[in-house]
């Protein structure tokens, strides 16, 4: 089983559009949207949301005013300032640690399991897809990311598919770390801007920290060729392969508006050729299609 | 007066709007970069850094001489950060949320608080802007404590501009909560609209007045505008889709320094925000 995770550090560099394009090229694939906070891949892949499941994680503390004697112990114990002076718990601040629940002398604090989102197993025109939606202002995004990846893996095993294509979240924090554990490789979509370079450097450090091989694809490369050179230099110094460059072209937006991949929108465009080349480079460099994964 | 700049979707132009707005104002401004996973504002504002400090969290350290291996600490820990063995206690620092449960239940006083580094904070200045950012250490996951630390430096006497992270979960909440106004930055594309809707739900949940900046206007379609109209969200500024602007941004330069008329446009944006706040107070 192979899994390629698409990351970028910085948001808006083209992760999702490129993932959608790859989904149409990949064989024997399960697609996985690990950006559970602001998932967008479904806008192009149009999954059928066939199987909907609640995602339960963590607990939410609620004080029962009937039992509460207002002793103030919970206020003193809470390190997250979630217990208000009127003996109500601010659910947004509550970390779900349960310390107030366990140590309340009156057992006046309820701690029911929290439904913090939904996850789905769907069919798309390119194959099965596992995706999710985290509830607004919910915690546990990392747990939901791990969950959809586990489900994608189980689905791939069941359907005897050997490749998982995962669209990752932006940043380098909890959900990103949850999206890369055990992955075969990371593809960083970088853009030739000072922030694009800065942010890809942090993702590269993260990949090294967790010992997951990384590659880089430079999107909008001709927007700023000097910055593109800087990315290439950095990649070389960090021993990260540059697997291709994609031209700056609003065609990505035009195809997005029609809910199409760039190939479906215009198969012969320069951008389509670029993306196809990137895909071929990934497959050949990293032997994603054989059982050998050492030499990435 | 705290203005938090957020978006839902990443890469819509939060930092562009936040930095250009800050630099355009002709009064003292505080800038707090709360996108601690990928802080970028310093690349544009280029502040002179005057002070650096660590952000720490407390994790338990067990004194095995005193420990009776009663397992109370392991039982109260909801995050699986402690494992009590026959004659040892393992602490998984990366799983610890610093809730203090283990300290509170230990009847032998065998648990001490040890500091663990989550990231760093930098303070700097650039002309009329006083600047603070947070930076998550590679491999760490505890983002909200760093954002809260950055926000603990809020100067309530001046205008504070917060550059928020993308998304709709805990880091964004930490960067928006308590703000007087949230400026949402979006792009007129299906992804932009989809994530804008999530951001609007988030702001509404927090009950904060908000307005919209449409970046790369003209790139996609009019759906964002129709949505804003329907939801009665005021569109306070439009920045056109222009390769010149993209190029300026790519070099780490400011639009207001490079293109004529933009300083005034950002000042207008600020005036509109103030006007909205005033109208609200009068109501």
Is B114 within a domain?
no
Output the six-digit token pair for A198. 């800065």
Q: A-chain residues within 8 Å CB-CB of B57? A: none
Residues B128 and B256 in one domain: yes
Q: B-chain residues within 8 Å CB-CB of A113? A: none
Residues B137 and B99 in one domain: no
Q: Give the helix, strand, coil percentages of chain A, each rounded to 5.
A: 35, 25, 40
Task: Say yes or no: ipTM exceeds 0.85.
Answer: yes
Judged by a CB distance cut-off of 8 A, whether residue A101 touches chain B is no
Find the CATH number of the domain harbouring B256. Answer: 3.40.50.300
Confidence of residue A7 (pLDDT cuts 50, 70, 90): very high
Residues B202 and B131 in one domain: yes
Q: B-chain residues within 8 Å CB-CB of A58? A: 78
Residues B50 and B172 in one domain: yes
Calpha distance B252→B141 (Å, rounded): 28
Residues B74 and B205 in one domain: no
Give the per-residue pLDDT at A288. 61
Is B193 within a domain?
yes
Whether residue A140 is predicted with pLDDT greater than 90 in this model: the reply is: no
Domain that holds residue B85: 64-109
Residues B69 and B206 in one domain: no
Give the per-residue pLDDT at A286. 59
Judged by a CB distance cut-off of 8 A, whether residue A80 touches chain B is yes
Beta bridge partners of A51: A121
DSSP-derived secondary structure letter, A28: S
Residues B149 and B91 in one domain: no
| C-alpha distance from B166 to closest chain A C-alpha (Å) | 8
Calpha distance B279→B283 (Å, rounded): 6
Q: B-chain residues within 8 Å CB-CB of A103? A: 104-105
Output the six-digit token pair for A133. 């939606």
- Which tens digits make up the pLDDT trace of A155-177? 999 999 999 999 999 999 999 99
Output the six-digit token pair for A77. 């114990």
Output the six-digit token pair for A76. 């003193």
Residue A234 Cα to chain centre, angstroms? 24
A35 closest CA partner among A57, A19, A22, A21: A19
Find the CATH number of the domain harbouring B79. Answer: 3.30.70.20
- Answer yes or no: are the C-beta atoms of A243 and A285 closer than 8 Å: yes
| C-alpha distance from B224 to closest chain A C-alpha (Å) | 12
Residues B196 and B278 in one domain: yes
Where chain B has pLDDT below 50, the residues are none
Domains of chain A: 2-55+117-286 (3.40.50.300), 65-107 (3.30.70)
Residues B126 and B218 in one domain: yes
CA atoms within 13 A on the CB side of A128: 23
Q: A-chain residues within 8 Å CB-CB of B40? A: 10, 194-195, 198-199
Is B264 within a domain?
yes
Residues B159 and B256 in one domain: yes
Chain B's closest residue to A250, CA to CA, is B219
Q: Which residue has the tokens 């944006």?
A: B269
Query: Is the dihedral angle over the CA atoms A167, A171, A177, A178 positive or is it negative?
Result: negative
For residue B282, give every residue at least 6 positions away whose Cβ sits within 8 Å of its Cβ, in sequence order, or none: none
Residues B207 and B84 in one domain: no
- Which tens digits make up the pLDDT trace of A249-292? 999 999 999 999 999 999 999 999 999 999 999 998 755 654 44
Judged by a CB distance cut-off of 8 A, whether residue A49 touches chain B is no
Give the per-residue pLDDT at A292. 42
CB atoms within 10 A of CB B109: 9
Whether residue A296 is predicted with pLDDT greater than 50 in this model: the reply is: no
List b or e across B183-195, with b for residues whose CB sees 16 or more CB atoms inside 10 angstroms: bbbbbbbbbbbbb
Output the six-digit token pair for B204. 């509404």
Residues B164 and B204 in one domain: yes
Which 204-263 residues of chain B touch chain A by CB within 8 A?
205-206, 219-221, 241, 243, 246-247, 249-252
Q: Closest to A256 (Cβ–Cβ): which among B191, B205, B241?
A: B191
Calpha distance B185→B16 (Å, rounded): 10
- Answer yes or no: are the C-beta atoms of B221 and A257 closer than 8 Å: yes
- Given B78, B109, B140, the domain boundary residue is B109
- Given B74, B109, B144, the domain boundary residue is B109
Is B146 within a domain?
yes
For residue A238, give every residue at least 6 positions away whose Cβ sits within 8 Å of its Cβ, in sequence order, or none: A201, A204, A208
Give me the number of domains chain B comprises: 2
Is B173 within a domain?
yes
Q: Closest to B251 (Cβ–Cβ): which among A173, A177, A194?
A: A194
Calpha distance B100→B196 (Å, rounded): 37
Pairing of strands A185-190, A2-7: parallel
Instruction: Work out the end-to-end distance of chain A between its first and last CA atoms, rounded to an integer number of angstroms.
Output: 15
- Which tens digits make up the pLDDT trace of A193-217? 999 999 999 999 999 999 999 999 9
Q: Over pLDDT 90: what percentage of chain A?
A: 89
DSSP-derived secondary structure letter, A120: E
- Which tens digits make up the pLDDT trace of B140-150? 999 999 999 99
Beta bridge partners of A219: A246
Output the six-digit token pair for A98. 């349960």
- Answer yes or no: are the C-beta atoms of A70 and A108 closer than 8 Å: no
Judged by a CB distance cut-off of 8 A, whether residue B10 touches chain A is yes
Which 4-33 residues of chain A touch chain B by CB within 8 A?
9-13, 16
- Answer yes or no: are the C-beta atoms of A272 and A255 closer than 8 Å: no
CB atoms B189 and A253 under 8 Å = yes
Give the per-residue pLDDT at B40. 97
Query: Is the dihedral angle over the CA atoms B58, B61, B67, B70 positive or is it negative?
Result: positive
Confidence of residue A294 (pLDDT cuts 50, 70, 90): very low
- DSSP H helical segments within A13-159, as ranges? 15-25, 42-45, 73-77, 99-103, 141-158
A251 closest CA partner among A234, A263, A237: A263
Task: Please state, rounded to an integer, the average pLDDT across all residues of chain A.
Answer: 94
């Amino acid at each position: 089983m192979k899994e390629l995770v698409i990351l970028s550090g910085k948001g808006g560099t083209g992760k999702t559009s490129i993932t959608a394009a790859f989904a149409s090229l990949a064989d024997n694939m399960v697609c996985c949207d690990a950006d559970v906070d602001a998932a967008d891949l479904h806008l192009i892949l149009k999954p059928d949301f066939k199987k909907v499941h609640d995602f339960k994680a963590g607990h939410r503390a609620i004080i029962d005013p009937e039992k509460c004697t207002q002793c103030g112990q919970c206020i003193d114990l809470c390190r997250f300032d979630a217990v208000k002076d009127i003996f109500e718990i601010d659910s947004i601040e509550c970390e779900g640690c349960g310390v107030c629940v366990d140590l309340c002398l009156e057992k006046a604090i309820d701690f029911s399991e929290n439904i913090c989102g939904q996850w789905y197993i769907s069919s798309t025109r390119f194959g099965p897809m596992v995706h999710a939606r985290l509830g607004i202002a919910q915690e546990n995004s990392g747990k939901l990311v791990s969950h959809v990846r586990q489900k994608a893996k189980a689905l791939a095993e069941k359907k005897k598919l050997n490749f998982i294509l995962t669209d990752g979240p932006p940043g380098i924090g909890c959900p990103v770390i949850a999206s890369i554990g055990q992955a075969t490789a990371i593809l960083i979509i970088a853009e030739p801007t000072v922030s694009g370079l800065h942010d890809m450097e942090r993702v590269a450090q993260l990949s090294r920290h967790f010992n997951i091989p990384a590659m880089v694809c430079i999107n909008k490369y001709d927007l700023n060729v000097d910055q593109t050179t800087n990315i290439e230099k950095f990649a070389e110094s960090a021993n990260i392969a540059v697997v291709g460059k994609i031209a700056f072209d609003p065609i990505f937006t035009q195809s997005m508006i029609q809910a199409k991949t760039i190939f479906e929108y215009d198969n012969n465009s320069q951008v389509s050729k670029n993306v196809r080349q990137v895909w071929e480079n990934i497959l050949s460099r990293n032997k994603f299609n054989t059982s050998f994964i050492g030499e990435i | 007066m705290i203005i938090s700049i957020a978006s839902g979707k990443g890469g819509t132009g939060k930092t562009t709007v936040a930095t250009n707005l800050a630099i355009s104002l002709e009064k003292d401004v505080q800038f707090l970069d709360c996108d601690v996973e990928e802080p970028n504002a310093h690349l544009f504002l280029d502040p002179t850094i005057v002070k650096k400090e660590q952000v720490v969290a407390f994790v338990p350290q067990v004194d095995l001489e005193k420990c009776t291996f009663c397992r109370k600490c392991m039982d109260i820990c909801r995050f699986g950060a402690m494992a009590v063995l026959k004659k040892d206690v393992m602490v998984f620092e990366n799983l610890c949320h610093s809730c203090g449960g283990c300290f509170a239940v230990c009847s032998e006083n065998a648990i001490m608080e040890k500091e663990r580094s989550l990231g760093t904070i930098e303070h700097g200045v650039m002309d009329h802007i006083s600047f603070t950012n947070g930076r998550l250490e590679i491999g760490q996951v505890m983002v909200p404590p760093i954002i809260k630390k950055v926000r603990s430096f809020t100067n309530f006497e001046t205008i504070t501009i917060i550059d928020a992270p993308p998304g709709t979960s805990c880091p964004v909440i930490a960067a928006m909560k308590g703000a007087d106004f949230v400026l949402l930055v979006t792009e007129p594309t299906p992804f932009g609209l989809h994530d804008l809707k999530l951001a609007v739900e988030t702001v509404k949940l927090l009950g904060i007045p908000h307005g919209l900046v449409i970046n790369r206007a003209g790139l996609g379609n009019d759906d964002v505008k129709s949505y804003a109209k329907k939801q009665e969200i005021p569109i306070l500024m439009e920045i056109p889709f222009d390769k010149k602007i993209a190029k300026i941004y790519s070099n780490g330069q400011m639009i207001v320094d490079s293109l004529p008329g933009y300083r005034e446009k950002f000042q207008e944006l600020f005036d509109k925000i103030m006007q909205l706040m005033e109208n609200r107070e009068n109501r």
